[in-house]
Amino acid sequence: MKYLGFILIVNLLFVGCCGCGSKDKENEKQEIQQVEQEQETKQEKTEEAPKESLYNRIGGDPVVDKAVRLFYDKLLQDEEISVFFGNTNLEENIQKQKAFFNMIFGGPSIEYTEEQLRQVHRPLIQMGLNAIHFERFVTLMIESLVLSGVNQEEANEIRDICNSYQDVILDKKNR
């Protein structure tokens, strides 16, 4: 479309310069301005288009589900992290983890407040959950996402999002 506008402008200028056309100079200027305005409007609409959510970019629910299930397989085999999940309902945890990731990736989900996240993790903190465990958790999740088809750029974006929740999960508020 850009080229069409350029061609139109060149043709208008050519017709005006060689005197072959019957349009006067004022009409030519108006037509050129109209074409330029249309191009600017299209450019603005392109720039204003909403960015697709991370949830959709990574493949939505099928990828999140696969990654979370793979993650829990890895987590339960990990000596550092598995101790925090010994007495839990695995399927319930998987569903909650999926809902959390859907939320932070911009997908359909319930909204967890920071206080809810703090409360649910306090018993784990009392068991010794700390920043080293949190980093291991994130690493296992990123590995699972990549194995589920998420590209490295999006995995890095997800790592940053997950890391932004560290103080909340570890209840570092006012400490």
Name the binding residues. Answer: 121
Residue 31 CB coordination number (10 Å): 15
Q: Which tokens in the block code for residue 140?
A: 């296992």
Q: What are phi and psi of 19, to 5 degrees?
A: 75, 15
Q: Which tokens in the block code for residue 138?
A: 């994130």
Which residues sit in the known binding site for heme? 121
Query: What DSSP line would sit under 8-53, residue for residue?
Result: HHHHHHHHHHHT-S---HHHHHHHHHHHHHHHHHHHHHHHHSPPPP
Answer whether 67's CB lies under 8 Å from 148's CB: yes
Q: Which tokens in the block code for residue 14?
A: 């050519």
Residue 166 CB coordination number (10 Å): 14
